[in-house]
Amino acid sequence: MRFPKSCDTFVVLPPVTKNGRVIFGKNSDRPQNEVQEVILVKGEERNPKLKCTYITIEESPDPVNTVILSKPAWMWGAEMGANDKNVVIGNEAVWTNNNEGDGDARQRRLLGMDLVRLGLERGHTAEHALNVITMLLEKYGQGGPCSELDDSHFYHNSFLIADPKEAWVLETSGKLWAAEKLTAGYRNISNGLTITTKIDKHSENLQAKAKGMGLWDGQSEFNFTKCFSSGGDEVRQREGERLLKEESAGACFDVKNMFKVLRHKESRICRGCDDTFPTQGSQVSSLTSQGLNVHWFTATPDPSVSYFKPFVFTPKPQISSYTESSNEAKREHHLYKLHAEHVLKSSNEKISTLLHEIENGCLIELEEFIQNYESGQGSLDELNDLMKDCVETEVKLYG
């Protein structure tokens, strides 16, 4: 089994954030030339059966949430996203020593990305989304090729789930799982198990099953990673933690700090398109219980040369069709094509600089709007087309 070194997810919580917000960020590193689209799916009641990437499952009896997703265009599931209940989720590939039966990730079951989308569509808080994911994991299992063109690319999953009050790290091995609750500070996950002895929730009879598998002696302190891990990218895990520590040292971490972390090339957290597993899409979310929650998506590869575009769940939110993939063989959406032609292939530093200037202008204008809105001025309807307008501004820039 190959261990591609890819993907990082981060969360920073009070008291080290600005204005008491929770800041979430994720880079989605995927196979070369795999297009990642950003789509908006309106909440509604659905048919009793739901076709996910590989299998059909029972749909929720309740109307699902409205969600915005950054997802590989070929699959049903998503690498990351947010819902209109202020929950955000990202997942990571992990490899464990539990690879037979329920732990055989080669079998086509629910992908980790399917579980991300299901958690967002059905979860009303971070913990509720955690419960949704673990219930489905135990019922249907996880597995199946995670690349459209490479059947050998399969794995188990970890998840970082956050809302305005807390975050959860959920790590899995087949149908077994452990979760750690976070209420302060910062946390990151890469491509290895990280939960050790602080376990706040877990699958039923986890310790007994680990003992029965010969992974725990039944006497020493139970350590989830020590029992189940078969390796991971410890270097990038440490680099991500170092960056969060540095950026949050002033106890004023905000969206711009997370942009900086996701754009960090030397640590390999940001990967260019010439990499084996380039960063195909990125998300940053700013969450609060007392005001507007804003979600930023690149919808294009390599955040160091991309523009984070803001989205807000308003009464009638819209996004541009330019970030939705086509039915063509390569599944390239319009923004992806233009960005590849004008930024990636030509290495046009002038355009990249201009994109970052536009992004900074969006940050300033949106912060002013939020301040006015929270003081009783302005209407959310003014932001219905926020992301749509930003995407179309970028498209016009490319001419």
Q: Please report the DSSP string for 163-178 in residue order.
A: -SS-EEEEEEETTEEE
Tens of pLDDT, residue by residue over 255-273, are 999 999 999 999 999 999 9
Q: H helices within the chain, ranges in order?
A: 112-122, 126-140, 206-212, 224-228, 234-247, 255-262, 334-339, 349-374, 386-397
pLDDT in the model for residue 314: 97
Q: For the chain, what is the domain count? A: 1
Is 64's pLDDT higher than 60? yes
In-domain check, residue 206 = yes
CA–CA separation, 330 vs 323, rounded Å? Answer: 14
In-domain check, residue 2 = no
Tens of pLDDT, residue by residue over 121-156, are 999 999 999 999 999 999 999 999 999 988 888 999
CA–CA separation, 25 vs 292, rounded Å? Answer: 17
Residues with catalytic function: 7
Amino acid identity at 163: D
In-domain check, residue 12 = yes
pLDDT in the model for residue 1: 42
CA angle 182, 184, 190 (to 5 degrees): 55
In-domain check, residue 363 = yes
CATH number for the domain that contains residue 37: 3.60.60.10
Region of residue 268 (phi > 0: left; psi between -120 and 50: alpha; otherwise: beta): left
Is 5's pLDDT higher than 70? no
pLDDT band for position 205 (50/70/90)? Answer: very high
In-domain check, residue 1 = no
Answer whether 27's CB lies under 8 Å from 270's CB. Answer: yes
In-domain check, residue 200 = yes
Tens of pLDDT, residue by residue over 289-316, are 988 999 999 999 999 999 999 999 999 9
In whole numbers, what is the pLDDT of the chain averaged over residues? 95
Tens of pLDDT, residue by residue over 6-16, are 789 999 999 99
In degrees rounded to 5, what are phi and psi of residue 301? -70, 160
Tokens 């200037």 map to which residue?
357
Tens of pLDDT, residue by residue over 335-358, are 999 999 999 877 778 898 999 999
Tens of pLDDT, residue by residue over 22-39, are 999 999 999 999 999 999
In-domain check, residue 67 = yes
Tokens 């019922």 map to which residue?
139
In-domain check, residue 3 = no
Range of the domain at 139: 8-397
Residues 6+ apart with CB under 8 A from 84: 43, 65, 66, 67, 313
Residues 6+ apart with CB under 8 A from 149: 31
